[in-house]
Amino acid sequence: MISQHNPTVISLNELGTIVSDKTIKQLLFSYNIFRSKGTNSHGGAVLTVDKKPNALPLNIHQLNCVAFQVIVKNQTYVLASIYSPPNEPVPLKTMSSLNRISKNVIIVGDLNAKHPNWGCTSMNHKGRLLAEWLENSDKYAIQNHGMKTSLRSDTTIDLVLTTPTISLSHCGTLSYIDKPSKWFTFLQQLLEALKERVTLYHQTAQQRPTLSSYLRFMLKHKHYLQNKYRHSKLEEDRIRLRSWNKLIQYELKSFRQNNWMNFISEVACPNPTHFWKTVKCLNKKLTASFSAITENGNIHTTPEEIVNCLQDHFYSRFTAPTLNMNNSIDVLAFKLWNELSNSSHKDIELACENSDLKFTAQDLKLIIRKMNTKNSSGFELNNVLSTQQSGSIPHLSTLTRVDHLMEQLTQSLRHNSLSVVVYIDFLQAFDMLWHPGLILKLQHLHCPYAYLFWIVNYFQDRITTIDYQGHLSDQIVITRGAPQGSCFEPKVYIVNLFDLPQIFEYTRKVHLYVDDLALLYSPSIYLEYIKQTDEIQTRINNDMVKLEQYADNNHQPVNKNKMEFVVYHKSVQVPKIRIVYQGQCIQQQKTFKYLDFHLDSKLSFRGMIHAQFIKLRKSYAILKYIHCAFPTYFTLKMRFFQTYTWPHLYTRQPSFACFQSPIKIG
């Protein structure tokens, strides 16, 4: 019955002490099991729920009663299973207490209560009390009137009670679709389909099986013994098959153990060469070595010259920008930074005491430590970050930003209109972060002064040293830029650019992913084609002037050499548009790699899918290595597939929906 209907929730009563918990877990291994003991040896209640929904058990402290809480479609539901023995009263107090937890309650179970109100031919004392309670309280309603729940009689003693907010027509909202997906089979079928469609393909000349030759011979002989026993059914063949199977299990265990010990010995080898040879397939990209540096036509080859060259380069990079005292933003930021940097620890404690938050300096350290994570910063809850920003923000990933951009592009192309996307790259984005400007923006966002004290102290007294072949440079003081390698770095940067989308005319067409900025422009469909080009060119150049002013005020320069734009269109002739930034024309390209997705001027699906399959081949090589190194570690293989291979296949579904032509009906 379970395999046929695949229910999400299963309620069982009267299992008693005969059926153990171990037996239930073995039979219902794909369910979370909640059980309550009974008042007698035949009582008890069991409630199982699929492992996909996040079900939380409720402490009812009542025998024969078990319940859990689950959230489905932003609605909280309480499901309970209750068994009431014939000689015990119905637990009406427990049923009333469930209604105080949630307004959506479903109670199922064997209550042994008979009454004509729910289709029983007779009535008992428990049924009369339950009917009076339902009529007076109006908390629950019976949903299975006249439903036959027993094979031995026509009485309805197994009841389904729900709150007035739930009815039988609304019970479908609790359906949780959990169909197992065979992703490895899907990948195999996809590769077979590609093999039939491609013109040229290569077949591997040598196959490297996972098992050794003697194990493959033993397995082949085992299959022979299995077929022989299936036909003969002789005891002699059964004993021979059993002994051979035990021998294979022992050999497989020894084979896996030897492979694991060899792998561990190579990894644990003190020689770095053996270690890197062992894990070289797991490396994404090797570090490039260099022996010389070219600067302004001069070639530096000695270690001393290379260290001095790098020291001068990073010294100029991490030096604070020159401020313009005629600019009000520079003056306010400089003044605020000096006030906070010259403050003492007593000022910090005084600000903490006078703050409405009422926390100590130790509490502040704990808050900042929690803040320094990927998924908890407090900026999203306070609506500081706009919806045009993605990256390092929960539920706003790379795919979200790319799909949003492609959706807007396809809407314009379906109206036979052109669209222009200007791709902007900030010069050395994280290293050019202006500390006083960030503090000034945080103050405008009403950030507590205790936080500002900590961030200023966090940015101060930071130094770096260059080590090249044992030659050390002088200490370089870092007075600008976000610290590399921490989760705090991207959070600070995206907050520093939180007001960037507001400077443009159409904020909803601004796509910002950390330091990658894409501006989409679509002309009015009511204009002629020539006027569309002129109108969109004027708008873009006006926004470039605004961007230049914003970059100067925030001391965040734009890399003009990497600024490009693509005109997405369906016409034969490519529209000519001239975009200027700081007196330099921006290059027009036919294709652009945006957030690792290739988008050409025609929004072709072929170019994008080709680039994704290149990544799939790389991940397939690593998966093949893991399969050979760990033959029995299926969990490791599945985890790697879901991490590196499945995301490339998963992203194709929404992207293909954007590239697909609309279906015309009629």
- What is the reported pLDDT for 358? 46
More confident residue, 241 or 633: 241
More confident residue, 75 or 346: 75
Nearest C-alpha neighbor of 319 from the set 484, 552, 477: 477
Lowest-confidence range among 96-110, 242-256, 264-278, 448-462? 264-278
Q: How far is CA 556 from CA 177, 488, 493, in A?
A: 48, 19, 11
Q: Residue 47: pLDDT above 60?
A: yes
CATH of domain 2-174: 3.60.10.10
DSSP secondary structure letters along 90-145:
--HHHHHHHHHH-S-EEEEEE-----GGGT-SS--HHHHHHHHHHHHH-S-EES-T
Burial class (CB in 10 A: 0-12, 13-18, 19+), 161: buried
Tokens of 104: 């959506």
Nearest C-alpha neighbor of 546 from the set 581, 588, 584: 581
Mean pLDDT of the region 332-350: 78
More confident residue, 503 or 174: 503
**Count of C-beta atoms within a 10 Å radius of residue 361:** 14
Q: Residue 3: pLDDT above 60?
A: yes
- What is the reported pLDDT for 244? 92
- What is the reported pLDDT for 665? 46
119 pLDDT band, cuts 50/70/90, is confident
Lowest-confidence range among 17-26, 43-52, 78-87? 17-26
- What is the reported pLDDT for 177? 47
Q: Residue 197: pLDDT above 80?
A: no
- What is the reported pLDDT for 112? 85
SS3 content of the chain, % helix, strand, coil (to 5): 45, 15, 40
Average pLDDT score, the chain? 79
Q: What percent of the chain has pLDDT over 70?
A: 77
Mean pLDDT of the region 418-444: 88
Mean pLDDT of the region 596-603: 80
> What's the CA gap between 489 and 433, in Å, rounded?
10
Give the domain ranges of the chain: 2-174, 214-288, 298-384+435-479
Q: What percent of the chain has pLDDT over 90?
A: 11
Q: How far is CA 403 from CA 522, 657, 660, in A?
A: 17, 10, 13
pLDDT tens-digit readout, 538-557: 999 999 999 999 999 999 89
> What element of type H or E holds 593?
strand 591-594
Mean pLDDT of the region 353-359: 51
- What is the reported pLDDT for 375? 45
The model's pTM: 0.51
- What is the reported pLDDT for 376? 44
Residues 6+ apart with CB under 8 A from 201: 195
- What is the reported pLDDT for 543? 92
Alpha-carbon 558 to chain mean position: 30
> What's the CA gap between 136 and 130, in Å, rounded?
10
202 pLDDT band, cuts 50/70/90, is low
Mean pLDDT of the region 530-538: 87
**Count of C-beta atoms within a 10 Å radius of residue 78:** 20
pLDDT tens-digit readout, 357-395: 444 555 545 555 554 444 444 454 455 566 677 777 766
Q: Residue 666: pLDDT above 70?
A: no
Nearest C-alpha neighbor of 465 from the set 474, 455, 456: 474
pLDDT tens-digit readout, 132-182: 888 888 888 888 887 777 767 777 778 888 988 886 555 544 554 455 567
pLDDT tens-digit readout, 288-336: 677 788 888 888 888 888 899 999 988 888 888 888 888 899 999 999 8
Q: Residue 513: pLDDT above 80?
A: yes
